[in-house]
Structure formats: structure tokens, C-alpha cells
């Protein structure tokens, strides 16, 4: 594989593009607007600058990484020669199905189609493709250039050949691929999201405050960040979407989003990217100040 197309220039998409490009692949980064693409490239450049300052890469490596990435607003022109397409659009089922229907028409039959979905069924996504055996899940972790894990999700029809190629490719990215089967939430979010939801329930029920809940989990369970801080980092809207996918998939009330989470998403207080969630990020992107909504509780 040499040519990789990445759909979506947001947090996950630009991280995936960065990772492939730094490993020497030619990357076509695709989004619907030039503004989104510029923002994505700016993020990649800043992240590379940080790596240069820490002496993890050289200036020449930064330049070659950026040179490996081209940007496109026309999906048709950007995927025609791709060996692999990685979809990293918003976690919305209908949007992903629309993208894969289009990819089915615009790519060759031997192009592997991967989704970075964190919870949506790969089998469902593959159902809109004429040859679903070439569809697979590549669930990267955020931040993509740093985190080692890639969940490799086989759909019902995904072939051994496709799975093996993606496992080997992930290793070439200096990642650790782990193969899992196609059930809502896969492994990572099936375990993580109920924990985050329970932390929100604990706050909602007045058991303890934001700082206290996160401190217990950091110091008592050796987690690098507390579950409420992590939820802010992921995005409360993303957490809510994943929980709804699992709740609808399993019909088990333990996956139902906490009412507090639902209300915060409706209010637009979705974490770091909106400037406020369980913490206030108006002055710093670090979780140093509890949101005023919770600071007196």
C-alpha cells in the first residue's frame, strides 16, 4: 500500500493523516471545506513542531511529512487511486452510510475501505457496499500520533486477507493492532463508556464533586486522567453518541446516557472543543478549573 485517502480533517482525521504521512505514505486528506482542511493541516504542523522541539523528529522529517499530504474537497478525485480509504467523519450512522455508498461507486473493487468509527457496526456500514468483504474497522485512539492501540474490527463478511493486510499495515505505523469482533462499542468503548457514564451518574446523584470523582480514579485506580476529564477530552457529544449506539444495539438500560450528560450536550457544553464541560477551558486547555455549574457542589 502506498496511497491512503483519509475522509475528515477533524481531530481523528488529521491525526490519522499525520500518522500515515510520517510513516512515508502518500495521503489525500479530504473534507467538505477548505477551512476545515486548513485547520487540519495547521494542527498537524503544530503537532509536528512539538515533536521537533522534543527532538523526536527532525525538521527534515517534519517537512517530508507535510509534503506527503495533499488536501481535497472533491472526494471522487481523491480516492480513485487509493489503496486504502479511512473514513473519519462524525460519529453519525447515516453520514457514514452515505459516504460508503459513494466510496462503493468511486473506488476500485480491491481498494480496502476502513472506518474509524468508535462504536457503529462495521457489518452495517459494509451492507451498503457491493463487495462488503473489503470493509473493516480501524479504530485509532486519540491523540493518534501518540497512542499505540488500533482496534481492528472485522465485519461479518470481512475476509482474512483484508484483516491480515490491515494488521500488518498498522504495525508499519508503529501501532499495536488488536483484532476484535463486531459488536456495539467493540472492546474499548464497551468498557470505557459505561465507566464514564457511571462517573457522570455519581456526580448527578450528588455522591461527590467533579474534582473529587476524578481524583479518586487518578490516585486510587492509577488512571492518567479522571473519567470526567477524559469525557471532556473525548467530547461529551461523542460519548453520548457512543452510549446511544450501545443502548440501541444491546437494549440494555446500563448503557443509557445519564440525563446530566444529555442535558449538557443539548446545552452545547461538550468539553474542551466548546470551552466548557465538567471543567472550564476558557483560560487553559488543561482541566484545572471546575466548571461554574459544578464548582459549588
Nearest to 184 by CA among 153, 163, 157: 153
139 is catalytic: yes
Nearest to 17 by CA among 1, 41, 49: 41
Q: Which one from 87, 91, 151, 276 is the annotated catalytic residue?
A: 151
102 is catalytic: no
CA 259 vs CA 197, 201, 210, 266, 295: distances in Å: 10, 8, 16, 11, 19
118 is catalytic: yes
The pTM score is 0.92
CB of 11 closer than 8 Å to CB of 142: yes
Q: Which one from 68, 115, 139, 170 is the annotated catalytic residue?
A: 139
Dist. CA 104–CA 162, nearest whole Å: 16
Per-residue pLDDT of the chain (297 residues; tens, 9 = 90+): 999 999 999 999 999 999 999 999 999 999 999 999 999 999 999 999 999 999 999 999 999 999 999 999 999 999 999 999 999 999 999 999 999 999 999 999 999 999 999 999 999 999 999 999 999 999 999 999 999 999 999 999 999 999 999 999 999 999 999 999 999 999 999 999 999 999 999 999 999 999 999 999 999 999 999 999 999 999 999 999 999 999 999 999 999 999 999 999 999 999 999 999 999 999 998 999 999 999 864
189 is catalytic: yes
Nearest to 86 by CA among 106, 100, 74: 100
Q: Which one from 5, 36, 118, 121 is the annotated catalytic residue?
A: 118
pLDDT of residue 113: 98
Q: Which residues contact 284 (CB under 8 A, 6 or more apart)?
A: none
Domains of the chain: 3-181 (3.40.50.720), 191-290 (1.10.1040.10)
- Strand locations in the chain, DSSP E? 3-7, 26-30, 69-72, 84-87, 112-115, 135-140, 149-154, 176-181
Across the chain, how many H-helices and E-strands are there?
14, 8
pLDDT of residue 95: 96
Q: What share of the chain is helix, strand, coil (3-state, %, to 5)?
A: 50, 15, 35
Q: Which one from 36, 115, 170, 189 is the annotated catalytic residue?
A: 189
**Strand 112-115 relative to strand 84-87, pairing:** parallel
Amino acid at each position: 500500500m502506498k496511497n491512503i485517502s483519509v475522509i475528515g480533517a477533524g481531530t481523528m482525521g488529521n491525526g490519522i493523516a499525520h500518522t500515515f504521512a510520517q510513516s512515508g505514505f502518500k495521503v489525500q486528506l479530504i473534507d467538505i471545506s477548505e477551512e476545515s482542511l486548513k485547520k487540519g493541516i495547521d494542527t498537524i504542523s503544530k503537532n509536528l513542531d512539538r515533536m521537533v522541539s522534543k527532538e523526536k523528529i527532525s525538521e527534515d522529517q517534519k517537512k517530508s511529512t507535510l509534503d506527503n499530504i495533499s488536501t481535497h474537497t472533491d472526494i471522487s478525485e481523491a480516492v480513485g487511486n487509493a489503496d486504502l480509504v479511512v473514513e473519519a467523519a462524525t460519529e453519525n450512522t447515516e453520514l457514514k452510510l452515505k459516504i460508503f455508498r459513494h466510496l462503493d461507486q468511486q473506488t476500485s473493487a480491491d481498494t480496502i475501505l476502513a472506518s474509524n468509527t468508535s462504536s457503529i457496526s462495521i457489518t452495517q456500514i459494509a451492507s451498503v457496499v457491493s463487495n462488503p468483504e473489503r470493509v473493516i474497522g480501524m479504530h485509532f485512539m486519540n491523540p493518534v500520533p501518540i497512542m499505540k492501540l488500533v482496534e481492528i474490527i472485522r465485519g461479518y463478511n470481512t475476509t482474512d486477507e483484508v484483516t491480515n493486510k490491515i494488521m500488518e499495515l498498522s504495525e508499519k505505523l508503529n501501532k499495536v493492532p488488536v483484532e476484535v469482533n463486531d459488536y456495539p462499542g467493540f472492546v474499548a468503548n464497551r468498557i470505557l463508556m459505561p465507566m464514564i457514564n457511571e462517573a457522570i451518574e455519581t456526580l448527578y446523584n450528588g455522591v461527590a464533586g467533579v474534582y473529587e470523582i476524578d481524583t479518586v480514579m487518578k490516585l486510587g485506580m492509577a488512571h492518567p486522567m479522571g473519567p470526567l476529564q477524559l469525557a471532556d477530552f473525548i467530547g461529551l457529544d461523542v460519548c453520548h453518541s457512543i452510549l446511544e449506539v450501545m443502548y440501541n444495539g444491546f437494549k440494555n438500560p446500563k448503557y443509557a446516557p445519564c440525563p446530566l450528560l444529555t442535558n449538557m450536550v443539548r446545552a452545547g457544553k461538550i468539553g474542551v472543543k466548546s470551552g466548557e464541560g465538567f471543567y472550564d477551558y476558557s483560560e487553559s486547555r488543561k482541566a484545572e478549573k471546575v466548571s461554574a455549574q459544578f464548582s459549588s457542589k
